[in-house]
Amino acid sequence: RDETGMPPRAPPPAAFPSLDAYYLHHLRSCSTPRHAAAVHAHVVRAHPFPSLFLRNTLLAAYCRLGGPARRLLDEMPRANAVSFNLLIDAYSRSGQADASLETFTRARHSVGVKADRFTYAAALAACSRAGRLREGKAVHALAVLEGLTGGVFVSNSLVSMYARCGDMGQARRVFDAAQERDDVSWNALVSGYVRAGAHDDMLRVFALMRRSGIGLNSFALGSVIKCCAGSDDSVRDIAAAVHGCVVKAGLDSDVFLASAMVDMYAKKGALSEAVALFKSVHDPNVVVFNAMIAGLCRDGAAVGMDVLREALCLYSEVQSQGMEPTEFTFSSVIRACNLAGDLEFGKQIHGQVIKYCFQGDDFIGSPLIDLYFNSGCMEDGFRCFRSLPKQDVVTWTAMISGCVQNELFERALTLFHELLAAGLKPDPFTISTVMNACASLAVARTGEQIQCFATKSGFGRFTAIGNSCIHMYARSGDVDAAVRRFQEMELHDVVSWSAIISSHAQHGCAREALRFFSEMVDAKVVPNEITFLGVLTACSHGGLVDEGLRYYEIMQEEYALSPTIKHCTCVVDLLGRAGRLGDAEAFIRDSIFHDEPVIWRSLLASCRIHRDMERGQLVADRIMELQPSSSASYVNLYNIYLDAGELSLASKIRDVMKERGVKKEPGLSWIELRSGVHSFVAGDKSHPESNTIYSKLAEMLSKIDKLTATDTSGTKSDDITRNEQSWMNWHSEKLAVALGLIHLPQPAPIRVMKNLRVCRDCHLAMKLISKSENREIILRDAIRFHHFRDGSCSCADYW
């Protein structure tokens, strides 16, 4: 025997009538390209006159297993249509449309070769897979010239090609002109309409198919079920009718259709029907289980914890029945763990993922990252990300979204830059998420760069991108830019209107916010809870008590929206601003949120503004009872005593904080300049320009002193003791403003962000600095935006 393992030039065994039959037997058993090449080598050496059939079989083996099929065709002394058809189809299946069409052209011009219906069908399949509509039309024209379009085989290929290329009008014309049709013809047209989202046309064709007496099969019914699952509520009732067709056709035991129908009912929110159907399946396989698990956790907010637990139990049943879970099983179960907040069960599923060697699957990686990030396990999430052999855009987006969710905004921006450096193209959701990080950091310059990138990438027209831009500009203190972006958008959805209303509300532009709300109603866009939160915030910041209470009633009576804790807090703030502290307290006690600390904190802030020390003490005691570890109530009560001149009581509050181990969150302010983002804490001297900053701050304070010495408007503070004044002069927002005055040109406003509520001394200082320096200062604190111009603030000294 030679190196190929076969006897050289030996006659075939007696069991084979000829050498062709002998080699055909070996070719049929080939499972690798190496085996096919070994047979080929032996044919060349030992078979002087191989038949065309043998050569075509060898060509088919190369096309199936991989090998020099093109070279073999070129070396064949004689070829026929079958030879070219094999290569055209092989190129088409491997995604090489150009090579496939080139071989088709060669077949048409080869001497002695007559292109048949299979040749044209293979060429049309290549156009279909690659979406080459123009080339597909050319092949169609050639088929007409050859007289091949009358046959059902070519006409079906034409319908499929036009449908896959998105030209359903031409697909329907070819279908209607066909001389004969079979079930493949109908299936191709139905699936084409499903793929195009033309649900009404699909249903009409399906009804016509039934009237024509065409027998239903699982493929046609699967396409119809998919259409019903992906459509809106207008065809929800048809789902049951299609289910009836499945039963009448005797295909209700088909697991493929069963899984599709479970998915259909779940997507329609008909979980009871989905569960009943699932239980009726005689022997469900893992695909049916996957559909049921995915259906149960499709909308965690709507289905509730019990249903999510049922999804987790189904996974246990998959294991108990000895089924091998797939990547879709794990993806759905991890999502159920995520929605249920069951980290421990999720970790066990993660172990199963590793056991079944799915740890490198991108489809599972993103849900795992979401699970760990939503549970606050950041390092575990990063480890999952790094363990993936290939990070696609979905996994990068999951990482960025997790960082934003956990307030790691700078890390989110870093990941976005790494994504770009890796040569990946972000999708609109990625960009929208990064824009939200820019909004939280209030880095407008970086946000503008990302907006430009989105525009260059062709995403600028997406509504989600526009909404994120509005939010980013508003949170960065540039409400005018937010309005311009809103006006540039082609389509405004409820998020767009809510964003622009909330933007004006946070900036104290109450009347503008209400004007946008009126325009929203006129545009027939139905407001949601977020919209009314913006409206109530606008009324609160603008002191529009009667309007705010009216909108609070409209929200419940006209739009049937239930107030959340945020809505009720706005009402308390609204009443407190107007000095109606008794009404505000009564509103809290009558509310279902009377045990929530945040709503009491709003009343406590009003007590300080209106100097109601007695009520403030009672409210502070209530907050400390509900949330003893929060520093906000202690600080507010301390300030109330300090404002009232009760220094001994204020000192006791500090002592209580020390005894209980309550620490005040440190104040942090930052400003974005051309050189980057610069952050400060009180008394910070770590900045490279620290000496220059403090010199500028001293100059600013000197101007303030001269201004207040001649000011008779009553703006001078009487509430700050000299012992505290020195430290307050070094508060972080003042340092940030000093740096802004050093580097920003005269016309540019100074935008500073702070993580806490601005203190009264700094608020007064900002008013005076805006007047003495003749500069606009925009300060965003934890409550709202303050626009300081010519010695006054947009909040009217109520915040």
Q: What is the pLDDT of residues 571-595, one digit of tens each?
A: 999 999 888 999 999 999 999 999 9
Question: Are 779 and 696 found together in one domain?
Answer: yes
Question: Are 754 and 683 found together in one domain?
Answer: yes
Percentage above 70 pLDDT, the chain: 93
Contacts of 743 (CB under 8 A, 6+ apart): 673, 674, 675
The string of pLDDT tens digits covering residues 44-88 is: 888 878 889 989 999 999 898 888 989 999 888 889 999 999 999
pLDDT for the residue 709: 65
The string of pLDDT tens digits covering residues 306-338 is: 777 788 888 888 888 888 899 999 998 998 888
- Residue 477 placed within a domain: no
pLDDT for the residue 581: 92
CA distance 311 to 290: 10
pLDDT for the residue 7: 46
- Residue 374 placed within a domain: no
Percentage above 90 pLDDT, the chain: 37
- Residue 229 placed within a domain: no
- Residue 763 placed within a domain: yes
Question: Are 695 and 775 found together in one domain?
Answer: yes
- Residue 7 placed within a domain: no
Q: How confident is the model at residue 776 (pLDDT cuts 50, 70, 90)?
A: very high
Q: Is the dihedral of CA 140, 142, 148, 149 positive or negative?
A: positive
Phi, psi of 311, rounded to the nearest 5 degrees: -65, -40
Question: Are 673 and 645 found together in one domain?
Answer: no
Cβ(498)–Cβ(535) below 8 Å? no
Question: Are 574 and 674 found together in one domain?
Answer: no
**Cα(first)–Cα(last) distance of the chain, in Å?**
95
Looking at 664, 680, 695, the residue that finishes a domain is 664
Question: Are 629 and 675 found together in one domain?
Answer: no
pLDDT for the residue 259: 86
pLDDT at residue 485 greater than cutoff 90: yes
CA distance 594 to 664: 25
Looking at 646, 664, 682, the residue that finishes a domain is 664
CA distance 180 to 207: 19
Question: Are 649 and 697 found together in one domain?
Answer: no
Looking at 664, 682, 717, the residue that finishes a domain is 664
Question: Are 618 and 632 found together in one domain?
Answer: yes
Q: How many domains does the chain have?
A: 2
Question: Are 598 and 686 found together in one domain?
Answer: no
Cβ(132)–Cβ(126) below 8 Å? yes
- Residue 774 placed within a domain: yes
pLDDT for the residue 356: 87
- Three-state SS annotation for 78-129: CCCHHHHHHHHHHHHHCCCHHHHHHHHHHHHHCCCCCCCHHHHHHHHHHHHH
- Residue 323 placed within a domain: no
pLDDT for the residue 721: 45
Question: Are 660 and 612 found together in one domain?
Answer: yes
- Three-state SS annotation for 539-555: HHHHCCHHHHHHHHHHH
pLDDT for the residue 436: 92
Question: Are 657 and 619 found together in one domain?
Answer: yes
Question: Are 654 and 574 found together in one domain?
Answer: yes
- Residue 783 placed within a domain: yes
More confident residue, 788 or 707: 788
Which residue range forms the structural domain that includes residue 602? 563-664
pLDDT for the residue 119: 93
Q: Which domain CATH number covers 635?
A: 1.25.40.10
